Structure 1
């Protein structure tokens, strides 16, 4: 009878231990599943929101330029030359754009870190409208398609220098930074961290381009 009671007591403890083990494993299982599900959900949401940020940022400007084009055709006879020239007026629409769909990034879901790995360079498009005034040429040195191509090239080179000295590119960069900083607002709101070039991004100026 004492042995029977002893076996019954052992069985009770075995049942208690097994029940405790089942409860512990069940807790660990459901907790791990929940954590994994949350990480996957956060990662998916961040990827979708970053994709929404990835639009085309375009800054537009208008420039006017006046050039005097001259060309001289020399002859073997001293003092005898054939000249042609024109006053060239250029009106150009210029766009500076950043395609944010080309931004690349890595997501460290375990540590909740988004790292921007590449930001595309700006694309500058110059669309000039060229008009000629006071055109002078001679029979032996007339305007040709080659002259128009040369003038078009000179116009774009001259405009490119003016664009560099203008605020158009800096304005475009400021717009780019504003758009990229939306990623920081998003990640921060979800308890994640945004990094670029080894720096944690907390304000726009941290995005040094």
Structure 2
């Protein structure tokens, strides 16, 4: 009997408003096992989440809301003005995300999935994922497309969205780490996006 081949681990990333989550759901519909790193981070910082005792001990009770979850607005303000606070928060949250994502990846492998897709918003900004991935797919679009999409879906002011984009890796930096790029500008239909995703999935053995 041939040993089961190790599933390919694919990193999926893109800037805010790029359509990365939509592409992730398309990979899942094609049979890939999708692991959402951002959702795992929200889980461990949610009410009574695994990170909350350490967050309370490090930052104080003011950063925990009434439900026992991270006060995201207060923490967001702190980390924007104090980079060392961001490093402290990541030092608490990232190991837990890694632990949970490893467990989910092992479960997917045990179930026979050929492709595991890690949805990682800040993949290009973080060096910690590189050794865990076999390839990277970037969902790419112009900054103007990002701005219009996020303003439409979230009601945020243009300057707020521009600030978020500026805090993320540049379009050039994301494309530099890509093994494949899915183009999703405003003229890209959902069907075209689905076709591109299917082509990339085939390229990586799905």
TM-score, with structure 2 as normaliser: 0.25
> By percentage of residues, which structure has more helix?
2
More strand by share: 1
Structure showing greater radius of gyration is: 1
Greater relative contact order (Cα < 8 A, sep 6+) = 2
TM-score w.r.t. structure 1 length? 0.24
